[in-house]
Amino acid sequence: MPRVFSGAYEGASVFVTGHTGFKGSWLCEWLLAMGATVTGYSDKIADGPTMFAAIGLEPRINHVLGDVRDPEALIASIDAARPDYVFHLAAQPLVRLSYEEPAQTFATNVMGTINVLEALRILDRPTACVLVTSDKCYENREVLSGYREDDPMGGYDPYSASKGAAEIAIHAYRRSFFMSASSPVRIGSGRAGNVIGGGDWSSDRIVPDCVRSLLAGKPISVRNPLATRPWQHVLESLSGYLWLGALLGGRCQMPRVAAPIDASEGFNFGPWPNANRSVEELVNKILTHWPGDWDHNGGSGSYHEAALLGLAVDRAYHKLGWTPALTFPEAVERTTAWYRDTATKGIDARKQTIADLAFYVEAARQQQIAWTV
């Protein structure tokens, strides 16, 4: 792989919470490709198919089973890893499940984040940490414009509110403990859009639901076809997190900028506004690459779901030089091909993942995005 992120992760020790999840598995694969030593910390491996199992990640990293709600175990694991970088992705990530398990959602997403921050507060080595929340951390006013990093935190449902609360906690810890010159730890937060990509088998998500229906030869059941979301390939958000981490770590700086940039704040890593598409448009685009049918199942039942959601990425562009690399059609095509080709053509999942990673890096290099220079 070409050298990216100024080589910040070559030989680095990286601690990843939530490494057995969809985004965490992709992140670990990319880190390994760059020569990092990876320690993953997660409470379980989900039942059924997972990206983690599909790419054979467990024997290639230091795989630790532990709960972010257990502060003693988490602190011990981070201390043992002696990390140069920490990426906190562990979460209860599903909106509808948060209605069924609200207390567990807040405990994992808020107290889990605080436990990571506490572990960092007593860490005695230079470490950069990116804490990942969500585009749903903002108070959703159902407006067409994308939310900016200074917009109010909020959330209608327990999941969204928990992510807003996590951002408030991160901001308080940053100002209270990690901004002084004597602190060896630098922290920032990343907020991504609705990520898609191969290997996500979570329940109650539109792309995995599409794939399960297509594999079964059944019409795709769609709850809210007119709801719009900021769709982006998983590697878009990960490139943002990795670049933010590299800048926080001080091992590199913005190209053509004389002094290191202050990256210790929250950043949106979303798609360009023209990738904000309806669920119906997403499903129809998937079906151009894997023929099938879909139908409207009549609504989402008793649970509230946002109709409009978008992110503004101006801050990441102007302060970090980060931009999306893929168009909406490219992201959907790569995502659909991953599932279709691994399921119906016998292509190895890890081989397909590495091919997608190479495609993405080359697309970013062609556009001279800051982290590739």
DSSP letter for each residue of 305-367: --S---B--HHIIIII-----S-HHHHHHHHHHHHHHHHHS---HHHHHHHHHHHHHHHHHHT
Portion of the chain with pLDDT greater than 70, in percent? 93
- In a domain, residue 372? The reply is no
Range of the domain at 220: 8-299+309-367
pLDDT at position 274: 82
Q: Residue 61 gets which letter from DSSP?
A: S
The CATH number given to whatever domain includes residue 175 is 3.40.50.720
Summarize the confidence of residues 328-339 as an average pLDDT: 97
What pLDDT band is residue 228 in, cutting at 50, 70 and 90?
confident
- In a domain, residue 344? The reply is yes
- In a domain, residue 337? The reply is yes
Cα-based distances in Å from 166 to 4, 27, 136, 151, 159: 30, 21, 11, 15, 11
- In a domain, residue 373? The reply is no
Portion of the chain with pLDDT greater than 90, in percent? 76
CA torsion, points 178, 183, 184, 188, in degrees to nearest 10? 10
- In a domain, residue 139? The reply is yes
- In a domain, residue 64? The reply is yes
| Separation CA 241–CA 237 (nearest Å) | 6
Which of the given ranges, 73-82, 174-183, 225-234, 309-318, has the highest pLDDT on average?
73-82
Per-residue pLDDT reduced to its tens digit, 253-304: 555 443 445 677 899 999 988 888 999 999 999 999 999 999 998 655 556 5
- The whole-model pTM stands at 0.94
Average pLDDT, the chain: 92
Number of domains in the chain: 1
pLDDT at position 261: 57
- In a domain, residue 3? The reply is no
- In a domain, residue 194? The reply is yes
